[in-house]
Structure 1
Amino acid sequence: MVISRFKYARLLLAARRVIRNDHLILMVLALVVGCASGAAVVAFRETIEIFQSLFYGSGHERLSQHVTGLVWWHVLLAPAVGGLIVGLFIYFFLPNRKPQGVADVIEAEQLHGGWMSSRVGLYSAIASALSIGAGASVGREGPAVHLGASLGAWLARRLQLTRSLNRTLLGCGVAAAVAASFNAPLAGALFANEVVIGHYALKAFAPVVVASVAGTAISRHWFGNFPAFALVDNPLASFWEFPAFVGLGIASAACAILMMHSIVVASDLSKRTPLPSWLKPAVAGLAVGAMALMVPQVLGVGYGVTEDAMLHVYGFGTLLIILVAKIIATAISHGYGFSGGVFSPALVIGAVAGGAYGIVATSIFPDLSSGVPAYTVVG
C-alpha cells in the first residue's frame, strides 16, 4: 500500500511538471494551430472550387482551358457578376475595412503583439474565395496565410497568453498555411520565421516547425502527396549560363516592379472613379472578362498556366501576350476591389517572363542552354 501510494505521488508530481512545462505546452498548442490552419486551408481551397463551379461549371485549376468551351457572354459576365457579389459582401460584412492579407499579418506581428480579428480573417477568406472563384486575377496564398494567422491569434487570445506566445502562435498559423498550400513544410517554416516573426530563435523556431509539419500532413491527407508543379529535369548545361540567369533575374525583377506599380496606379485610378465602392469590383470583373475572351490565361490563380509555361507549351509571342495581359488583369483586379493575394499572379508573370527569356537565350546560345523550362523555373 505504501509503495503504491509512493508511485502515485511520483506520477502526480511528474504530471504537474509536465503541465507546468511551458515549452511542452507551446508545442502542443503549435500542433493544434498547425492542424487547424491546415484544415482551414483545405476548406478554403474547396470553397474556391465550389464558387468556381457555380460561376463556370468547373472547379478545375486549369480554368483557362475550360472557358474556351463556354459561350462568349458567359466568359464576359461571370467575373462581372462575381465582382458585384464580392463588392456587396465587402460592403455589408467588412464596412470601412478592406479584405486583409500578408501585409496585415506582418503589421499585426510587429506592431500589435500578434493581435488579429478572427471575424475579419474569416470574412476576408470568404471574399477572397469568391474573388478567385469568379476568375479575378488574384492569388490564394495571401488569404490562406491571413486565415492561418487569424486562427493562431484567436487561440492565443482565448487562452490569454503573453504577447510573446501570441506572436509565436500567429507565426505557427502562417507556417502551417504556407506549408499546406504548397505541400512544403520547410518553406512554411522558413517563410514564417523570416518574413513574419523576423528571427530564428529556438523558442519560436521549434513550434513553427511542428505547426508546419502538421499543416502539411493535413493537406497531404486531403489532396495527396503531390508537388505543386510538375517540373522537367533540366541539368545545368554549362557554367557559362550563369550570366544569362543573372540577366533573367534582372528582367524578372523589372516585371515584378511593373506589376506592383501597375497595382498602385490602378488603385489611384479606382479612387478617382465616381462609382460606389461595392460596384467597382463588378467593373473590374467586366474588364477581366473582356480580356479573357482573347487571353483566357488571365483568369484565376493561374497555376495551370504556370505549369504549362514550365513544360514549354507556349511560343514566344503567346508568352509575351500572357505576360502583359496578366499584369494588367492583376492590377485591375486588385486596384478595383477584388480580394486576394499577389503571389500566384507573380508566379505566372515570372514563369512566362522566364519562358520568353529562355527562348531568346536558347536561340542565341543553343549549345550552352539548359532548355527553356529551366529558365521558366528560374523566372
Structure 2
Amino acid sequence: MLKRFPAFLRWLRRQVRSSELSFLLLAIGVGAAGGLFTVLVGAAARTLQYVLFGLPPELRLSGAPPLAPLTLLVLPLGGLVLIAFNWAVRARRRALVDAVEANALHGGRMSVADSAVIVGQTVLSNGFGASVGLEAAYAQLGGLFGSLGARLMSLRRPDARTLVGAGAGSAIAAAFGAPLAGAFYAFEIVIGAYTPSAIAPVVAASLAGAQVAQRLGVVPYVVSAVPGPAIHTAGYLAYGGLGAACALLGILVMRAVAVVETQTRRVMPGPWRPVLGGLLLVPLAYVSPQALSAGHSALHIDMTEAVPLGFIAMILLVKCAGSIVSLGFGFRGGLFFASLFLGTLVGHLYAGVLGAIAGHSVLNMGNASLVGMAALAVAVVGGPFTMTMLVLEATGNFSLTGAVLAASLVSSTLVRELFGYSFSTWRLHLRGETITSARDVGWIKTLTAGRMMRRGPATIEGTATIAELRRRYPLGSTSRVLVLGPTGRYAGIATPAVAFAEGADETAPVSSICHAADATLLPDQDITQIMARFDEIGTDELAVVDADGEVLGLVTETYVRRRYAEELDKAQRDLFGER
C-alpha cells in the first residue's frame, strides 16, 4: 500500500490540476479545516480569559463588571508570558509572513512555523486581555491550510493564491457565521481581486467553514441590533458624512499605532515592551473592561442598551487607547473586531450629536451604529463589500445595506486618497515593502536584473584603441561592447557602429567613444526598477554589476519590456482562469 501511495498522489494531483470539480472539493476541505481550527483557537483564547479573570461562563471579558485591581495584574503578566513565548521561538528572527503578504509576494506559500508563532502570539495576547482580536490568527490558519493543500497538490501559482484566500475566507465566515462576508474577505483582502475562476472555490470554502462552526454548536460573532426605518436620500447624505468621519479616525488609529511602536522600539530596544504595555492597560481597564480584548460583549451591550453619549465617548477613547497601546507595545493581534466595535461607538455618537444640533432625531441610533461599524472597519481593514455583506447577513435589511455600502465607499475612497493603506499593508509598508493590497506582485520581485541579464557579454579595455575594437569585434558581430577600466571594473558601453563610422580616429582609446559610464544595475533590482532606470537614462542597454563594480552581465531595454509584457499577459490570463 505504501508503495502505491506516491502513484495515487500523482494521479490525485493531475485530477486537481485539470478538473475544476476536483479543485472545488479541495477548497471545501480547506474551508472545513479553516472553520474547525477557528473554533479551536477561539475556544483556547476564551478559556484563558475565563480562567485568568475569573469570568462566569455567560460573560466575555469586554462585558465583565468592573475588575478588581489585583485581577488587572494579569495584563502585565501576559506581557511576561508573551516575552517568554517570543524567547522560546527566538530562532525566527525574520519578519513573519501572513496570508496577505504570502499572496502578494510569495505566490501563496506560507510557513507552518511562521503561522504557529503568529497564532500563539495572538492567542496569548487576546487570552491575557490585550485589546486585540483573534481574526488575524483565524485567517492565518485558514490561509495556511490553503497553502499546504496547494503545495501537496503541486498547484499553479494562481490556484495556490485562490486556495489561500479561500482558507482565510472560510475562517472569517466561521467566526461571524457569515459566508458571504467570508467570501468577500477572501477576494478583497487576501486575493486582491474578484477573479471569475475563484468564485466557486472561495464561496464553497466559506460555506464549508461556516457550516462546520455551526454544526459544532458554536455561536458566531452575531452583531445584535434592531435596525431602524427605511433610509431615504437625506439619510444617505448624512451617512456619507459618517463614512468620512470613520475614515479620518481609522487613519488616526493606524498612524498612532505606527508612531507608538516606532518610539517604544527606540526608547526600549529590549524585549520588555509588552510588560510596560500591560501596565499601561491597567488604568484603561480600571476605567472600563470594555477597553480589553476584542470587544464582542461590549459591542452588544452598547448597541442594545440605552447608554448616555458621555459614556459612549469615554469608551471610544479608552478602546482606541487600548488598541494603540496593545499593538504599539508588542502584543500580537488585529484590529478587525476592534474596528467594528469602535465604528458602532462612532455611529452612536454621530447620530447623537446630529440630533442634539438639530433638536430632534435625525438618524436612527441602531442604523447609525451599524453603518459606522462597517465604515470604520473598511477604513482600517479594507473591503467595502466584505463589511457590507457582514451587515446584510446580520440584519437582513436591504435598505440599511445600501446606506452601509455608500458610507463604506466614502470611507474607502478617503483612506486610499489620504493614506493609501489598510492596517495590514501599512505594517508591511513600515517594514519597507511597497504593496498596497494582496494583488499578486510577486512575479515582479522575481524578474530581477540578475535573472534576466545576458552573461558573458563582449568586453574590451578602455585603454585599447578603436582599431583594436574593430579587429576584435567586426561590424555585425555584436551591437555593443562593455568597456572595462584599468582595474577591470565597468567603465561604460561602446557601440561598434560608432567605431566603424567614417572619420573615426583609429588611434583614439575606446574610452573616448563609450557612454553610460555612470548608469548600471544591481543584480537584485526588479523589473519595475529596471524600466524606471531605462526611462531615466535614455539608453538601450545597461550593464549589471556587483557592489564592487565588477561586470556580471548586460540587459537590453527591448528584452526587459518584452518580458514584462509577457508576464503581464500571463497574469491577466491567470486572473480570468485561462490555461
Contact 1:33–1:151 (CA under 8 A) maintained in structure 2:
yes
Q: Quick one: which amino acid aligns to residue 62 of structure 1?
A: R
Indicate which of 74, 77, 87 corresponds to 1:91. Answer: 87
**RMSD over aligned Cα, in angstroms?**
2.3
Q: How does 1:39-118 map to 2 (within 5 A)?
A: 39-58=36-55, 62-68=60-66, 70-75=67-72, 77-93=73-89, 95-97=92-94, 104-118=98-112
Contact 2:17–2:23 (CA under 8 A) maintained in structure 1:
no
Q: Deviations over 1:69-119 (max 9, x none)?
A: x421212x111111111122123225324666xxx3222112111001012
Contact 2:62–2:296 (CA under 8 A) maintained in structure 1:
no
Indicate which of 244, 248, 251 corresponds to 1:250. Answer: 244
Q: How does 1:245-284 map to 2 (within 5 A)?
A: 245-274=239-268, 276-277=270-271, 279-284=272-277
Q: Quick one: which amino acid aligns to residue 124 of structure 1?
A: I
Tell me, in whole angstroms, the C-alpha distance in 1 between the residues paired with 2:361 and 2:21.
Answer: 54
Indicate which of 148, 152, 155 corresponds to 2:149. Answer: 155
State whether structure 2 residue 310 is matched by structure 1 residue 317. Answer: yes
Q: Deviations over 1:323-357 (max 9, x none)?
A: 11111111111011101011111112111111111
Counterpart of 1:304 in structure 2 is: 297
Could you tell me how far 1:299 is from its partner in structure 2? Answer: 0.5
State whether structure 2 residue 206 is matched by structure 1 residue 212. Answer: yes
Q: Deviations over 1:276-301 (max 9, x none)?
A: 22x21111111112211112210000
Could you tell me how far 1:232 is from its partner in structure 2? Answer: 1.0
State whether structure 2 residue 284 is matched by structure 1 residue 288. Answer: no
Q: Quick one: which amino acid aligns to residue 64 of structure 2?
A: H
Tell me, in whole angstroms, the C-alpha distance in 2 between the residues paired with 1:226 and 1:235.
Answer: 26
Could you tell me how far 1:243 is from its partner in structure 2? Answer: 2.6
Counterpart of 1:362 in structure 2 is: 355
Query: In terms of mean alpha carbon deviation, does 359-368 or 211-220 score higher?
Result: 359-368
Could you tell me how far 1:134 is from its partner in structure 2? Answer: 0.8
Counterpart of 1:164 in structure 2 is: 158
Higher RCO structure, 1 or 2 (CA under 8 Å, sep 6+): 1
Counterpart of 2:339 in structure 1 is: 346
3-state DSSP of counterpart to 1:144: helix
Indicate which of 326, 334, 342 corresponds to 1:333. Answer: 326
Contact 2:16–2:23 (CA under 8 A) maintained in structure 1:
no
In the superposition, relative to structure 1, how do residues 227 and 20 fare at CA in structure 2: closer, same or farther (>3 Å)? Answer: closer
State whether structure 2 residue 152 is matched by structure 1 residue 191. Answer: no
Could you tell me how far 1:226 is from its partner in structure 2? Answer: 5.8
Tell me, in whole angstroms, the C-alpha distance in 1 between the residues paired with 2:17 and 2:371.
Answer: 48
Could you tell me how far 1:233 is from its partner in structure 2? Answer: 2.7
Counterpart of 1:146 in structure 2 is: 140
Contact 1:309–1:376 (CA under 8 A) maintained in structure 2:
no
Q: Deviations over 1:136-169 (max 9, x none)?
A: 0111112211111011112222332222221121
Contact 2:175–2:221 (CA under 8 A) maintained in structure 1:
no
Could you tell me how far 1:306 is from its partner in structure 2? Answer: 1.6
Q: Deviations over 1:216-261 (max 9, x none)?
A: 1011112456661111130136532333212211111111111111
3-state DSSP of counterpart to 2:222: coil
Tell me, in whole angstroms, the C-alpha distance in 1 between the residues paired with 2:332 and 2:283.
Answer: 19
3-state DSSP of counterpart to 1:195: helix
Tell me, in whole angstroms, the C-alpha distance in 2 between the residues paired with 1:147 and 1:222.
Answer: 18
Counterpart of 2:572 in structure 1 is: none
Contact 2:16–2:153 (CA under 8 A) maintained in structure 1:
no
Counterpart of 2:175 in structure 1 is: 181
Q: How does 1:123-142 map to 2 (within 5 A)?
A: 123-142=117-136
Tell me, in whole angstroms, the C-alpha distance in 2 between the residues paired with 1:291 and 1:156.
Answer: 44
Contact 1:153–1:169 (CA under 8 A) maintained in structure 2:
yes
Counterpart of 2:442 in structure 1 is: none
Q: Deviations over 1:108-137 (max 9, x none)?
A: 112111001012112211211111111101
3-state DSSP of counterpart to 2:70: helix
3-state DSSP of counterpart to 1:48: helix
State whether structure 2 residue 369 is matched by structure 1 residue 376. Answer: yes
Query: In terms of mean alpha carbon deviation, does 19-28 or 148-157 score higher?
Result: 19-28
Tell me, in whole angstroms, the C-alpha distance in 2 between the residues paired with 1:301 and 1:22.
Answer: 41
TM-score (norm 1): 0.88
Indicate the structure with greater helix content: 1
Could you tell me how far 1:370 is from its partner in structure 2? Answer: 4.0
Q: Quick one: which amino acid aligns to residue 66 of structure 1?
A: A
In the superposition, relative to structure 1, how do residues 89 and 144 fare at CA in structure 2: closer, same or farther (>3 Å)? Answer: same
Q: Quick one: which amino acid aligns to residue 81 of structure 1?
A: L
3-state DSSP of counterpart to 1:143: helix
Contact 1:262–1:328 (CA under 8 A) maintained in structure 2:
no
Contact 1:61–1:303 (CA under 8 A) maintained in structure 2:
no
Indicate the structure with greater strand content: 2
3-state DSSP of counterpart to 1:72: coil
In the superposition, relative to structure 1, how do residues 352 and 368 fare at CA in structure 2: closer, same or farther (>3 Å)? Answer: closer
Tell me the matched-pair count: 359
- Can you give the 5+ residue segments of structure 1 that lack an aligned partner in the other structure? 1-14
Q: Quick one: which amino acid aligns to residue 306 of structure 2?
A: V
Q: Quick one: which amino acid aligns to residue 139 of structure 1?
A: G
Tell me, in whole angstroms, the C-alpha distance in 1 between the residues paired with 2:24 and 2:69.
Answer: 53
Q: Quick one: which amino acid aligns to residue 43 of structure 1?
A: L
Contact 1:138–1:339 (CA under 8 A) maintained in structure 2:
yes
Contact 2:126–2:294 (CA under 8 A) maintained in structure 1:
yes
Tell me, in whole angstroms, the C-alpha distance in 2 between the residues paired with 1:19 and 1:268.
Answer: 46
Could you tell me how far 1:67 is from its partner in structure 2? Answer: 4.7
Tell me, in whole angstroms, the C-alpha distance in 2 between the residues paired with 1:345 and 1:226.
Answer: 16
Tell me, in whole angstroms, the C-alpha distance in 2 between the residues paired with 1:23 and 1:367.
Answer: 57
Could you tell me how far 1:313 is from its partner in structure 2? Answer: 3.4
Counterpart of 1:12 in structure 2 is: none
Tell me, in whole angstroms, the C-alpha distance in 2 between the residues paired with 1:227 and 1:332.
Answer: 24
